[in-house]
Amino acid sequence: MESYLAELNDAQREPVLQKDGAMIVIAGAGSGKTRVLTYRIAYLMSKGVDPFNILSLTFTNKAAREMKNRISKIVGSSEAKNLWMGTFHSIFAKILRFEAEKLGYPSNFTIYDTQDSQSVIRAVIKDMRLDKDVYKYKQVYNRISSFKNSLITVKAYFQNGELQEADAMSKKPRMGEIYQAYVDRCFKAGAMDFDDLLLKTNELLNRFPEVLQKYQNRFRYILVDEYQDTNHSQYLIVKALSDKFQNICVVGDDAQSIYAFRGANINNILNFQKDYDDVQMYRLEQNYRSTKNIVNAANSIIDKNKTKLEKVVWTDNDEGPKIVVNRLLTDGEEGRFVASSIFETKMQNQLSNSDFAILYRTNAQSRAMEDALRKKEIPYRIYGGLSFYQRKEIKDVLSYLRLLMNPKDEEALKRVINYPARGIGQTTMDRLNIAANQYEKSLFEVIENLDHLDLKINSSTRSKLQNFVNMIKSFTILSQNADAFVVADTVTKKTGLVQEMKKDGTPEGIARIENIEELLNGIRDFVEGQKELADSTGSLAEFLEDVALATDMDKDTSDEDRVALMTIHLAKGLEFPYVYIVGLEEDLFPSAMSMNTRSELEEERRLFYVALTRAENQAYLTYTQSRYRWGKLVDAEPSRFIEEIDDKFLDYMIPQDDYKYKPLIDTDIFGEVDKSKLRQNKPKNGTPPPAHKPTEQQLRKLRKLKPASPEPVKATKSVNLSAGNEVEHMRFGKGKVLKIEGIGQDQKAEIDFENGGIKKLLLRFAKLKVLS
């Protein structure tokens, strides 16, 4: 047996060793589903399957990269980079690039992000003179998105009486027309939105049998992670591609299906057995991730759901500490508790920031956490929310880049045609728009052909428009030979964007310039990375695609050591030694919007199951007594999910009878909070109690999970380190001391580690072995 197969248990090894056929692995959190996929790919390669013939679909591109690295190590070659691996969106965008012209799109089509799509929808609603309070653009966008993910085209919509009736009932009878106008505009702009990437792939595979065959033959082996969260459109793609060879392996957990609100269809997992001829079903039961306490607590929660497949999950890991429950007065105090607890736990146990995650239900909750972490000088990173690439100044630069790639891209053109100001006003734009509609041309084409059109635009404005078009064309020509960095660098200089911000002179203006520099650095890194691959030149097209399809998880590129903050939805598939789940309050988690039906509540409960099962060693649950919601301070009640966990797994930091569902703040008849009661409820002596000290057993577990150094590492008691010394750290491996600063207790060393990059460590705590 190859040695890597010994890193699997018997149950895991079975699906790995079944080379051909259809199979489904259904198993609870942390039982090694993702590991099975990874090892299965390695096994296929070792049996001579060409990596070009393997397609693996993951939840984020980051997960795909990590999987590729792992596979490279297992098979001991760089062949893994030829695997087709990534999110549905990124894989099928690549395929659409090759085939776009068949569908009438340019191969350099733009990918509209959510902001772009919503902006188009807003414009459509405005042009149709509809009431924007009835036709709320975000709602309309979501509705159209759900049509697309169910493969309901405009034509199908107009043939479907039920859908039309539903829209009429919700006072939006013109939904179909908006849908039509939206689709037309995107098409005219040579743009696909996120949902199109799946919808158009389906269209491609349905309409062109020879194309379908080509990809069926290419992807002889297909693997899908997190199968419980595929939507109908994704399901059909997988089904079509795997139909010929039927070598398909999907893994998932119905208890972790949390994207129904985006069209995920749990039936895809339940019906899998009917979809293929001879399906092997595998189950995994042993959890390797978490302590007994966490596994059993999570089991006790998911037990409350009626709709579920019966599963067993157990673990051989330590009992572990109980789950800590704490009640705080306000979200500010909640943040301070979490930050202090992280600080203490980290110092006591020599941990990295990245060993900690704070998970919440809604992005808005991050603010209080951020404030507290900043005060304690704990570095953190927020995933999701408004990403770097959506900041105004960044989007402006990207819009220039998009426009030079695809001059039809109207959203990009509208953003930059008069930014920096060039004297092209709204009246001119309105006239151009009318002409564009009349001639069914893009704005750019209209501007290009201004001389031949009879438009009321004066000669000075005409020449400004001409200059703009010429500038964009010159960039396009440059991009044909230069890499993405050269193009982007030229664009920021020649367009006057940076000069405009320099004029501004405010701290915000300076921050914007820094962001643009950061973008350029990012592009340079990207280009260098791409050039190392044999078949890549680091072109602008590649860069733009990478940006457009980065999921919220992928958008961080630096690997500094930080505490992770994210919504639970984003945390799927991840694991952290210490996890804080905050805001466990009724109406927040479970969300007020998700308590109308049992199935919504069950989805919230699955979300809680996902959150808790991210924790390896210890989980903390917090809630507040009052919280600002909709601008008002309201009483908060502890979440029913805390109540649902058997008390034997919990460790309350507050007297328990004080806890059970009862108003925690007394208010007088006018609804005023009785301040003296508030003070009573504060944790004693004002500061949050220290975090629980892990047991020796836990520490051993922690070390086991992380790459340990070959020999036990001794702490350096008296510090006689200096720059240039080679050292070894238990977790970061070997490193070189760059500099020493501070004296006595505060002495710190800056060390460049092989595994961790540059880190500053307090020598008093850091257990370093001096090598030379």
- Is 30 a binding residue for ligand ATP by CB under 6 A? The answer is yes
For residue 315, say whether it is annotated as part of any ligand binding site: no
Least Å distance, CB 675 to ligand ATP, is: 44
Least Å distance, CB 584 to ligand ATP, is: 20
User: What are the tokens at 523?
Assistant: 């592009």
Q: How many residues belong to the chain?
A: 772
* CA pair distance 92, 94, nearest whole angstrom: 5
- Is 638 a binding residue for ligand ATP by CB under 6 A? The answer is no
Are 738 and 750 contacting, i.e. CB atoms less than 8 angstroms apart?
yes
Binder of ligand ATP out of 22, 23, 24, 35 (CB under 6 A) = 35
DSSP-assigned letter for residue 26: E
* CA pair distance 217, 210, nearest whole angstrom: 11
The residue written with tokens 């209080």 in the block is 368
User: What are the tokens at 650?
Assistant: 């919990």
Nearest to 358 by CA among 377, 333, 334: 334
* CA pair distance 608, 331, nearest whole angstrom: 20
* CA pair distance 9, 36, nearest whole angstrom: 10
* CA pair distance 154, 100, nearest whole angstrom: 20
Are 591 and 295 contacting, i.e. CB atoms less than 8 angstroms apart?
no
Binder of Mg ion out of 573, 577, 590, 638 (CB under 5 A) = 573
The entry of ligand ATP, Mg ion, none that residue 646 binds, CB within 5 to 8 Å by partner kind? none
- Is 269 a binding residue for ligand ATP by CB under 6 A? The answer is no
Tell me whether residue 422 is one of the annotated catalytic residues.
no
Would you call 736 helix, strand, or coil by DSSP? strand
- Region binding ligand ATP by CB under 6 A among candidate stretches 24-32, 75-83, 303-311, 676-684: 24-32
Q: In sequence order, what are the residues at sequence separation of 6 or more whose Cβ sits closer than 8 angstroms to the Cβ of residue 155?
A: none
User: What are the tokens at 9?
Assistant: 């248990």
Residue closer to ligand ATP by CB (options 387, 617) is 617
- Is 314 a binding residue for ligand ATP by CB under 6 A? The answer is no
* CA pair distance 257, 266, nearest whole angstrom: 7
Residues in 559-598 at the binding interface with ligand ATP, rule: CB under 6 A: 573, 575
* CA pair distance 440, 606, nearest whole angstrom: 49
Site string for ligand ATP, 514-553 (x = CB under 6 A): ----------------------------------------
Least Å distance, CB 403 to Mg ion, is: 39
Binder of ligand ATP out of 8, 189, 328, 523 (CB under 6 A) = 8
The residue written with tokens 């704490």 in the block is 326
Element of type H or E holding 622: strand 615-624
- Is 12 a binding residue for ligand ATP by CB under 6 A? The answer is yes
Burial class (CB in 10 A: 0-12, 13-18, 19+), 617: buried
Burial class (CB in 10 A: 0-12, 13-18, 19+), 610: buried
Binder of ligand ATP out of 157, 158, 208, 288 (CB under 6 A) = 288
Would you call 665 helix, strand, or coil by DSSP? coil
Least Å distance, CB 557 to ligand ATP, is: 23
Least Å distance, CB 291 to ligand ATP, is: 13
Are 394 and 388 contacting, i.e. CB atoms less than 8 angstroms apart?
yes
Least Å distance, CB 304 to ligand ATP, is: 19
For residue 564, say whether it is annotated as part of any ligand binding site: no
- Is 231 a binding residue for Mg ion by CB under 5 A? The answer is no
Catalytic residue among 256, 428, 461, 625: 256
For residue 31, say whether it is annotated as part of any ligand binding site: yes
The entry of ligand ATP, Mg ion, none that residue 301 binds, CB within 5 to 8 Å by partner kind? none
Would you call 590 helix, strand, or coil by DSSP? coil
Least Å distance, CB 116 to ligand ATP, is: 32
- Is 31 a binding residue for ligand ATP by CB under 6 A? The answer is yes
Tell me whether residue 226 is one of the annotated catalytic residues.
yes
Least Å distance, CB 551 to ligand ATP, is: 16
- Is 29 a binding residue for ligand ATP by CB under 6 A? The answer is yes
Residues in 234-253 at the binding interface with ligand ATP, rule: CB under 6 A: 253
Torsion of CA 573, 579, 582, 585, to 10 degrees: 70
In the sheet with 768-770, reading across from the earlier edge strand, the strands are: 757-762, 748-753, 733-741, 726-729, 768-770
- Is 625 a binding residue for ligand ATP by CB under 6 A? The answer is no
For residue 27, say whether it is annotated as part of any ligand binding site: yes
Residue closer to ligand ATP by CB (options 7, 754) is 7
- Is 160 a binding residue for ligand ATP by CB under 6 A? The answer is no
Would you call 737 helix, strand, or coil by DSSP? strand
Site string for ligand ATP, 395-414 (x = CB under 6 A): --------------------
- Is 9 a binding residue for ligand ATP by CB under 6 A? The answer is yes
- Region binding ligand ATP by CB under 6 A among candidate stretches 27-35, 310-318, 399-407, 500-508: 27-35
3-class SS letters over 176-211: HHHHHHHHHHHHHCCEEEHHHHHHHHHHHHHHCHHH
Would you call 635 helix, strand, or coil by DSSP? strand
Tell me whether residue 33 is one of the annotated catalytic residues.
yes
For residue 30, say whether it is annotated as part of any ligand binding site: yes
Least Å distance, CB 180 to Mg ion, is: 40
Tell me whether residue 280 is one of the annotated catalytic residues.
no
* CA pair distance 249, 23, nearest whole angstrom: 5
* # of chain residues touching ligand ATP (CB under 6 A): 19
Tell me whether residue 494 is one of the annotated catalytic residues.
no
- Is 34 a binding residue for Mg ion by CB under 5 A? The answer is yes
- Region binding ligand ATP by CB under 6 A among candidate stretches 7-15, 129-137, 435-443, 476-484: 7-15
Residue closer to Mg ion by CB (options 7, 319) is 7
Residue closer to ligand ATP by CB (options 290, 428) is 290
The entry of ligand ATP, Mg ion, none that residue 72 binds, CB within 5 to 8 Å by partner kind? none
- Is 30 a binding residue for Mg ion by CB under 5 A? The answer is no
Catalytic residue among 220, 562, 605, 614: 614
For residue 372, say whether it is annotated as part of any ligand binding site: no
Cα separation values, 668 from 203, 673, 674, 675, Å:
63, 7, 7, 10
Nearest to 468 by CA among 412, 417, 398, 414: 417
- Is 694 a binding residue for Mg ion by CB under 5 A? The answer is no
Least Å distance, CB 32 to Mg ion, is: 8
- Region binding ligand ATP by CB under 6 A among candidate stretches 6-14, 306-314, 515-523, 675-683: 6-14
The residue number with the shortest CB distance to Mg ion is 34
User: Sign of dihedral through CA atoms 268, 271, 274, 278?
Assistant: positive
Burial class (CB in 10 A: 0-12, 13-18, 19+), 684: exposed
Residues in 595-614 at the binding interface with ligand ATP, rule: CB under 6 A: 613
Residue closer to Mg ion by CB (options 335, 573) is 573
* CA pair distance 347, 342, nearest whole angstrom: 9
3-class SS letters over 390-434: HCHHHHHHHHHHHHHHCCCCHHHHHHHCCCCCCCCCHHHHHHHHH
Tell me whether residue 34 is one of the annotated catalytic residues.
yes
Q: Which residues bind Mg ion (CB under 5 A)?
A: 33-34, 573
Query: Which residues define the annotated binding site for ATP?
Result: 27-34
In the complex, which residues of this chain contact ligand ATP (CB under 6 A)? 7-9, 12, 27, 29-35, 253, 256, 288-289, 573, 575, 613
The residues annotated as belonging to the active site are: 33-34, 225-226, 256, 614
